Every structure is written in structure tokens, then in C-alpha cells.
Structure 1
């Protein structure tokens, strides 16, 4: 399961690979272009090579500090089982040793992220990732020191599966406000689905049983943490409700079906994919956003529950509206390329402003916050791309970042209209 992190680091790695792959297909500037700027002219967005998103995800649940302290303590206890320094005398195989050390370092980084992030929910998620990474390292060392086996860890994992199934069976969609309820219940749906449908480690490690045990340790810890976190979110949320609060499952399901039908109609009305030979930034934006919009329809249909379907539909309407914005701007003759460093600073500022403005002006900011958090993460990735450059930089090298900024801008500016459409469906 190494490398499957759902945190921002994991997202950035995936996004980086995706965008890098896209460069060869979509880059409109020849690699030998002489148009260039100097790195000191670009936005000074990060001192350490890592930019923080301006918005992070949050949900309407009171997460107690004691819960975060408990998770941190669990990480520390796992890491304390490792001999430090973990050298060749402990694990002679350098590759295996570095895998365990990398996992321990990743766990520490996730804890540091948790204590500097904007919301307790973001910290809650980061600490869960820290637990999984720390357990990978601890289980690997446990194989050496105590003879921990995959069978031992499979028993622990099965216990988490059994509890997750019970939680899913007993899950009642209680709530009084469908927006707040959808946000909480969607996370519970996704957490439990991740536990119950996660791929099981193969156990066939090319480097022997130690790493196979480490993978099972991570797998078991992730399942245990996700299940416990789901129970905690459910209990905290339902405890905040009036005693007579009923279920809103039918409200969510009906709204999700209305929204899904609207999205299906919008997909039918989409124009054909762009076919121009000039694959400039405008072409890339139109191609990618149209594809995102078309695929969002299936994402709603495949949602794992009514709450997730409502949130996925919100993102789907954002995708369609963002595509329409770009298409209209292209048809009006707007150019999206950058000619100098000032243009890069401008498109970045527009993205940040659009995200903040959308959060402030939305009729229900909490409903669109997940979308804005995603946009903010993409801006952070674009920032980090810029921060890597030194000296003279060809404009062609900046296009990944520019596309990221523009995409974040049009998505953020589309969220308020998407929010109103979803609220209308929920209130009928």
C-alpha cells in the first residue's frame, strides 16, 4: 500500500505524474523555444519547496483535541518500537531498511502537517495517514524482533472489517440540515467503503516476508483507523442533533437522482471534443474540462451512497459550469498564454482570489469547501512546480503551473452557481 496516500503529498505525486505525462501531448511551445524568464521574477510562493493550500477541507463535526492527541500518541508509540538509529546491524538489506525509514519519516511528516493545518478535520485525516505509515515501519521491525506474522495482522484486519460491516448495516442518515448531514455521512460512506473494498496486500513481496508483513501492518492499521474514525464522526455528529432528529436518507437520495438526471441531460448537450491541431493552452483547458464534465455523470451514478452522490453531483455541476466558462471565453477570442513573469503572477493571484471569494460569497460555503480545497491543492502543486526552477526558465516549462492556476480559477468561480443548483434540489 506504499504510495497510496490520500493526503496532499500523495495527491501531488499523482498530479505531478499526470501533468508531466500531459506535457508531451499538450505542450504548445516547442521545447527549443527561446522565450524565457528568470526564476527570481516568478511568484515567490514558498521558502522550503512546499506550498500550503489556502483552503483545506472541513466538516460540521466537533473534533476534540483529545482525539487528535490520542492519534498522535498512537503514532509515537509505534515509532518508539523502532531502534534508532536503524542501521545495517539491525537490518542488513539496505533497500528494506530504507523502506522502513522512509515510512517512519513519512509518519513524522504527517504529524507535523497535522499540527500546522487550518482545520481539525484536516489534522484528523493527516494523523490517520501518519498511523498507517508508522505501522508499516513498526510491523516490519516487529517481524525482525518479535516474529510478527501476516496471520497475526490478518486477524486484526478481520476485526476491523467486521466492525465496518456492522457500522454500514446500522448507518442511519440522521440530520436536520441536509447539507451538513450530507457532508458528514458522505465521509462515513467513503471511509467504510475504503475499508471494505480496499485491495488486500498480495503478500508476494520480491524482497521477502519482512515487507509483506509491513504492508499487512499498514493495511490493518488503516482499516482500524478508518473504522474508528467513522464511528467517532457518526457519534459526534448525532450527539449534536436534537433528540427527535429523523433520517434524511430519502431527501438525499431524491435530490441525488434529480441532480443525476440534470447532469445526464447536460452531457447529451455537450459539443464534440475539440479537434483543432493547435494544442495551445486554450485547447488543453477546453479538452480537459470537457472530459471532466462528461466523466462526472458516471461518478454520480457510481457513488457509494446518497450523501456521496450529492457531493459528487456538486462537483459535477462545477465541472460543467467551468467548462462552459472556458468555452465562452475561447469563443470570445480570449488568449490564455503567458508572455512574461508578470502574467504568471497575475493568473496565480486570480486563482487565489477566486478560491477565497467563492468561500466567502457562496450561499452555503460548507457545501463547496471540498471543491475549493481541491482547487487550492492544485494551486499549491503549481506553486511547488514554480519553486523548483532556478535561473533562466523557458515559458514552455511554466505551462503546467499556468494550466493549474486557470483551472482552479474557473472551477472556483463556478462553485456558487453549482451550490445553488444543488440547494434547489435538496429543498424541493
Structure 2
């Protein structure tokens, strides 16, 4: 498959570079061609060779002992729902071809989710997969019940108060306790995220898109409500497992608050150097003549994201989700420092241009090295494990994108995707430093 060329147009700064020290390769972003010339292309086999080596898999973890029996319980719920539907559905069961096709797709997706639970390498990911399977299975069963048993939107909405009651009771017995502030902030961030998700899913029950009351509308609402239920169940389980194994139940709120303010202060100190959200000339971010290379495009992406996350972290109103605010401030600081590091690298003379597939391979190798180094970092290890998957897994996603290629594509188009390796490398490289700083702020007495 040949993809469209996504290479941006030539900017004023790039035209000026042509008359001075700039290079044609800089203008093209990778190939150094004049307008009208044919672009160099890349064969899919070359991309396959680049991504042939296994990239490190960074699993999402949680410093809580998750029992295999709890995962098995969620799996059992999903399997029970799937066993209660006569799928695959035929014309006799569901005459409407559109609805029949959608329900068969739902069933297939839920079945696949159930089968993939044990492929996860760590208990937390197995639990997450079991929850996804549980939600998917409940969706297809609810759709079938709407057809076979007259399950309605109104009946589903009657269950909302009990779900809200479960969420409220879970929150009422929760507090920011812990015996180690770093471990505590990671666990409480998970709890808070699940509770926020549960409340959001419940609040979606009155969506106008569900006013028709078809089997698909019923399935859609049932899916959201099941997400709310499973999120609340996992939140309660995680907190109970965590609190039940504490050596001491010290209130960690003061430490969380102090760490949040220190991280926000560090972000403020760097905020003036961040770019605006809209950047007309990407090369203006670097005070030297350089074309719109893969590195410069990555810098634009990072700058925009860093600006957004910095503003969000600083402007966030202090609320009940304190651990989430600490972790999100650390996440914002990763983006900010990564932007600074990449800008300095390009300003120092490394264009990070793509002129051949060898350059793409070098970007990928650098990203993998950054991930492996971060995985071996010791200071702030629990926060590294919390933050690293957010950045490291974009390497595998880019690998998968390249592995799906067929035929030929332009080198400039491939270079556009290769910026993901650049972003992955620079963010993963700063994760340990930010994690160590955040851990130090949490442990200050």
C-alpha cells in the first residue's frame, strides 16, 4: 500500500537556508530533492528488517499484590455472559442484517479479549484485560437481551443509583494512607483514576444518541454502566489490598500536596521557554539554519504537548484527586524536559534528518536504548514504572505501523512516522530524572 505524502510545505526559514548554510536535504525533510523531482522510495521489506528486532515491552504495573483468583473471577463473569448468548447469530435469530453483523462483531471481539487475558506478562495487565473482556461480554449479552428479553434503556437506567451508591461507599472508606509516599502516590493514583472513570461512565447514561432504544443503543449504555461497575470494583479491591498490607497507615496528603506544589513550581520555572500551541514555522524553535527534519517535526509535537500539559498541570484546581495531580505534574515535567533536551540537541548541530532507512534504524535503536536504560534506573523506580509505559510503548506502535506496510512508500512519508522514535527516545531518557525528582519531593519531611 502506498501512503499519501505528508511532507509539509517549504517555510520561509527553509528558503533562506537554501541561500546560506542550509541543505537541500533539510528542505525536503529527508531526501534533498528539487520540486518536480521524483522522491526516493522505501520498500516494505526494508521497513520489516528495521523492526524485526524485538522492542522492549514495558508492562503497566501496580505495586499491589493482585491475586490470580480475583483475575479469574472477572474472567468467569465475562465467560458466563458469553455462554448465555447463541452466537454466532444467524438470520433466524436476528433478521436485521446490520444489527446481526454488529452483534457478531461484538461477540468476536469479546471472545478474542477473553482469550488474550493470559498473554499479559504481569498481574495488573491480566486484570485490565479481564475487565475489558468483562465489559465486552456484557455489551453483547445486553444487546441480545434487548432482542430476546426486551431489556430496555429505562431498565438499565434504573440500575444507576445502585452503581452510584457503590462508588460513593468506596470513596467514603478511602483515604490517602500509606507507609511509603512514593508507593502510596502510585496506588492512590490508580484508585483515583478508577473512581473518576466510574463517575464519568455513569454520567454518560443520558446521552441523546441513545434515545432510539434499539438493541445497539441498549448495548451502548450497558457497556458504559459495566465500565463504571468494573472500575468501582477494581478501585475498591486495589485500596483494600493496599491498606491491608501496610506496616503503618500514615496520612500522606501533606506529602502529596507539597510534592504537587514543588513539581508545579519546576514547571512554572520552564514555562516561559515553551512555544505557543500553534507554530507557523517549526524551524523557528531552533536558533540555527535547519530544515523541517524529522527531529524538528518531533520538536514541534513535543513543544505543543509540553505547553498543553504544563498549562493543565498548573491551572488544575486542587481537588480530591491529589495523587493524580502529582503524577500528572510529573508527566508534564517529562514533556517539558524532553522538549528542552531535544531542542538543545538540534541546536547543537544534530539535524535528526532522515536521508535513508539507515537513519530510521538509528532512531529506533536510540529509542530502544533509552527504554532499556530507564528500565534499569534505580532512584524513583516505582514512578519510573508508572510513567515509562506512556512513552515507551509508542516505539512498539511505530514498529507495528511499519510492519503493516506493503509495496513501496516515499521516504519522506516514512520519515514522518519515524519522528515517533525520536519522541520516544527523548522522553524515555528523561523519565528517570523526573521520577527521581518527584520521589525526592514526596519523601521530603
SS at match of 1:62: coil
**Equivalence for 1:220:** 225
Distance 2:4 2:163 in 1: 38
Distance 1:114 1:302, change over 3 A: farther
Does residue 275 of the first structure (1) align with residue 291 of the second (2)?
no
Distance 1:296 1:128 in 2: 29
**Equivalence for 1:11:** none
Distance 1:97 1:399, change over 3 A: farther
**Equivalence for 1:209:** 214
For the pair shown, the structure with the greater C-alpha radius of gyration is: 2
Q: Choose from 380, 384, 391 the match for 1:364.
A: 380
| CA displacement 1:98-126 (0-9 Å, x = unmatched) | 22222222222323332112211111112
Does residue 154 of the first structure (1) align with residue 167 of the second (2)?
no
**Equivalence for 1:302:** 316
Residue 214 of structure 1 deviates from its aligned partner by: 0.6
**Equivalence for 1:5:** none
TM-score (norm 1): 0.87
Residue 169 of structure 1 deviates from its aligned partner by: 3.1
Residue 208 of structure 1 deviates from its aligned partner by: 4.9
Residue 184 of structure 1 deviates from its aligned partner by: 0.7
Whether contact under 8 Å (1:45, 1:387) holds in the other structure is no
Distance 1:316 1:22, change over 3 A: farther
Residue 89 of structure 1 deviates from its aligned partner by: 1.5
**Equivalence for 2:43:** 38
Whether contact under 8 Å (2:267, 2:333) holds in the other structure is yes
| CA displacement 1:369-412 (0-9 Å, x = unmatched) | 23321223211210111012123332122124311111010000
Q: CA RMSD of the aligned region, Å?
A: 2.6
Distance 2:280 2:430 in 1: 21
**Equivalence for 2:90:** 87
Does residue 338 of the first structure (1) align with residue 336 of the second (2)?
no
Tell which deviates more after alignment, 137-146 or 413-422.
413-422
Whether contact under 8 Å (2:342, 2:426) holds in the other structure is yes
| CA displacement 1:273-299 (0-9 Å, x = unmatched) | 573565432331221111221122233
- The correspondence of residues 24-103 of structure 1 with structure 2, limited to 5 A, is 28=29, 33-44=38-49, 54-103=57-106
Distance 1:192 1:381, change over 3 A: same
**Equivalence for 2:245:** 240
Tell which deviates more after alignment, 358-367 or 323-332.
358-367
TM-score (norm 2): 0.84
Q: Which runs of 4+ in 1 moved over 6 A?
A: 29-32
SS at match of 2:303: helix
Structure 1 residue ranges without an equivalent (≥5): 1-19
SS at match of 2:376: helix
Whether contact under 8 Å (1:157, 1:223) holds in the other structure is no
SS at match of 2:42: strand
Distance 2:417 2:219 in 1: 36
Distance 1:159 1:208, change over 3 A: closer
SS at match of 2:339: helix
Whether contact under 8 Å (2:7, 2:413) holds in the other structure is no
Distance 1:324 1:31 in 2: 36
Whether contact under 8 Å (2:282, 2:297) holds in the other structure is no
Whether contact under 8 Å (1:33, 1:394) holds in the other structure is no
Distance 2:46 2:235 in 1: 47
Q: Choose from 357, 380, 385 the match for 2:396.
A: 380
Does residue 193 of the first structure (1) align with residue 196 of the second (2)?
yes
Distance 2:155 2:86 in 1: 22
Distance 1:25 1:162 in 2: 52
**Equivalence for 1:409:** 425
Does residue 120 of the first structure (1) align with residue 123 of the second (2)?
yes
Tell which deviates more after alignment, 202-211 or 91-100.
202-211
Distance 1:89 1:354 in 2: 56
